[in-house]
Amino acid sequence: MNIIITCGPSYEPIDQVRRITNFSTGRLGITLANAFIDAGHAVQCLKGEQATDPTPLKINATPFSTNDDLLQKLKTLSTERIDAIFHAAALCDFKPIAQSTHKKIPTNQGNLTIQLEPTTKVLPRLRPLFPKAKIVGWKYELDGSRNDALQKAFAQIQSAHTNACVLNGAAYGDGFGFCEKGEVQHVPDLDSLCTHLINWTTRP
C-alpha cells in the first residue's frame, strides 16, 4: 500500500531569524513510518525541518517548513494513488499577521508586540485532495477530562471528513485513544499503536 505520513513541527517566521513553532520531536511519525516500511508498505514521509528525534528513517524524508509549504507538498502527491494518510505533524495554529520589515528585529527597540492570525488548517484540506484514501488525524489535548478530549476527537473526524483520529495528551491520559465511528479503542503505547494502525489500514 502507498502511505503518506506527516511528522514533526511546522514553523511560522517572525523575521528571518526568529520563528513560532511547536514542541514536537517527530518521534511518533518517524516510528510509525519505519513500522509501515518494515511491514512492506511504500511510505512517503513529510518531516518538519525542526524535528529533532535522532531515530533514523529507513527512507529519505521530504522536509517541510510552514503549514502552507506542507500543504503544497501534499498537493503535489495528490496525483499519485495514495491508500492512507497519517497526519501526525504538529502544525502551528497561529502566525504573525505581517512579517517584520527588518531581516532581524533589533532588540534595542524595546518591547515587541506581535499580532497573530490563524494559520492554514491542513487536515480539512486532505479529503478533497485524496478522496479515496483512509485519512487519520491527531488530537493532542492537555486541558479538561478524557470525555472532553474524546468529544473534540470525534468533532475533528466529522468536521475534517477523516476516517479516524488518534488522541493523546494529558487530558486523555496514558497511551492513545483510536477514535472511529463513535467508538474509541485504547492503545497502551507507541509500538502497539503502530501495530494497530497497520492492521487497521490493511483490513478490508
pLDDT at 116: 94
pTM of the model: 0.94
Distances (CA, A) of 182 to 21, 171, 179, 185: 32, 18, 7, 10
Segment 169-195, tens digit of pLDDT: 999 999 999 999 889 999 999 999 999
pLDDT at 133: 97
Q: 22-26, 161-165, 168-172: lowest mean pLDDT where? A: 22-26
CATH architecture of the region 2-95+117-202: 3-Layer(aba) Sandwich (3.40)
Mean pLDDT within 83-88: 98
Of the pLDDT bands very low, low, confident and very high (cuts 50, 70, 90), residue 121 is very high
Quick check: 97 and 119 in contact, CB under 8 A? no
**Nearest C-alpha neighbor of 138 from the set 165, 98, 177:** 165
Quick check: 26 and 109 in contact, CB under 8 A? no
Of the pLDDT bands very low, low, confident and very high (cuts 50, 70, 90), residue 107 is confident
Segment 31-46, tens digit of pLDDT: 999 999 999 999 999 9
pLDDT at 170: 97
Segment 45-82, tens digit of pLDDT: 999 999 999 999 999 999 999 999 999 999 999 999 99
- Domain residue ranges in the chain: 2-95+117-202
